Amino acid sequence: MRSDGNQSALAGLLLSMPAFVGLAAFVAMPFLAAVILSCTDAQLNSPLAMRFVGTEQYRRLLSDPMIRRALANNLVFAAVVVPVQTVLALLLAVLLELVPSGKRLFRVLLFLPVVFPMSLIAVVWILLYAPGETGPMNRVLSWLTLGGWEPRDFLRDPQLAFPAIILLSLWQGVGLQMVILSAALSRIPKELYEAAAIDRAGAFAQFRHITLPQLRNPLVFTMLLTTILAFRLFEQVRIMTHGGPGDATRTLLLQAVESAFDLQQIGEASALSVVLFCIVLCISVLQQVLLDEGRRS
């Protein structure tokens, strides 16, 4: 028995070697490199030699108003998108259950934005957000307000640029969350609802006492996934606004990319990446803990 166990442990180790090597080569090594670089003042275009500066880069990050704004934007984005998108996705998933036929078609339609590359979506939404009376979004708003809406240039408006980014991100992101929740929803055994109905639970009580608790794990999973994605907000702002106007749509990842590739500030970019990595890591750990707890109970 014992040697059997040892043998299968060995086999397991051997079989997971390729994955480990991959992880080491493409995740651990770059991360280590980033940690090391973040303690230097490395600049690609500088003739000066690279110097070790300790935690200087991190201290600079904390005091940089642009970075603070970027972090604030990421936090606002997460604070808005996570709850709104979760509620929307849940609503869509529940409505989808009520659709008598063509459930699959609806699911695919709602999932399409997830499949499209963000670059394509961004271009389409630039057109939707076109300034002037003829811009589709302006038209819709004008129609909704019975003509009370003054046409605005969404992506160049300091007040509207970030909400515009949030709206498009919601539209793009809700599909993935919806599909995960919808799949979980259709796995809830029918007889739980039957038992609840006999116990006199109405539609709302059934949702609260059966559906929500049964969806706990997928909800935790998708909410934290969306939080992680919120901290990786990048493509939309890079393509649509370049972080502007002003710093209205600046985000941490955009800042990291810009300092690395536009300004060649490798040290600063590395420090930012490390910070981002730590944020994402914390959320992932939280997710694991919550999911494990859910599984145990």
Partner 1 sequence: MGQGRVELIAVSKAFGARSVVKQVTLQADPGEMLILVGPSGCGKSTLLRMVAGLEQPTNGEIRFDGRSVLDLPPQDRNVAMVFQNYALYPHMTVRENFEFPLRMRRVDSRERAERVASIAEMLALTAVLEEKPRALSGGQRQRVAMGRALVREPSVFLMDEPLSNLDAQLRVALRAEIRQIQRRLGVTTLYVTHDQVEAMTLGDRVAVLRSGELQQVGAPQDVYSKPANAFVASFIGSFGIAFYAAEWKPEIGALQLGTVAAAVPDSVRSDRGSLVVGVRGDALCIATSTGPTTFLAPIEHIELLGSERVLYVRLPFPLWDAKENVAMGSGVAGTVGIRTASGTTAAIGQQLPLEVVPDRLLFFDHAGKALTSG
d(CA 162, CA 153): 12
Q: Is 210 in the site for partner 1 (CB under 8 A)?
A: yes
Token couple for 122 = 């961004």
Q: Is 200 in the site for partner 1 (CB under 8 A)?
A: yes
CB of 215 to partner 1, least distance (A): 10
* Residue closer to partner 1, measured from CB, 48 or 98: 98
Among 97, 133, 150, 199, binds partner 1 (CB under 8 A): 199
Q: Residue written as tokens 């979760």?
A: 86
Among 97, 133, 150, 194, binds partner 1 (CB under 8 A): 194
Question: Left if phi > 0, otherwise alpha if psi is -120 to 50, otherwise beta: which for 243?
Answer: left
d(CA 38, CA 40): 5
* Size of the residue set binding partner 1 (CB under 8 A): 19
Q: Which amino acid is at 270?
A: S
* DSSP one-letter string for 178-206: HHHHHHHHHTS-HHHHHHHHHTT--HHHH
d(CA 10, CA 6): 6
* Residue closer to partner 1, measured from CB, 50 or 205: 205
Among 205, 282, 286, 289, binds partner 1 (CB under 8 A): 205
d(CA 158, CA 160): 6
Among 43, 142, 214, 287, binds partner 1 (CB under 8 A): 214
d(CA 54, CA 167): 40
Token couple for 160 = 């509207």
Candidate segments 55-63, 68-76, 184-192, 218-226, binder of partner 1 by CB under 8 A? 184-192
Q: Is 118 in the site for partner 1 (CB under 8 A)?
A: no
Q: Is 297 in the site for partner 1 (CB under 8 A)?
A: yes
CB of 169 to partner 1, least distance (A): 32
* Angle between helical axes of 216-231 and 65-98 (0-180°, round to 10): 150
Candidate segments 13-21, 44-52, 126-134, 198-206, binder of partner 1 by CB under 8 A? 198-206
d(CA 220, CA 92): 17
- Contacts with partner 1 in 215-254 (CB under 8 A)? 216
Candidate segments 3-11, 108-116, 213-221, 231-239, binder of partner 1 by CB under 8 A? 213-221
Token couple for 171 = 């539209």
Among 170, 197, 228, 239, binds partner 1 (CB under 8 A): 197
Residues that bind partner 1 (CB under 8 A): 189, 191-192, 194-202, 205, 209-210, 213-214, 216, 297
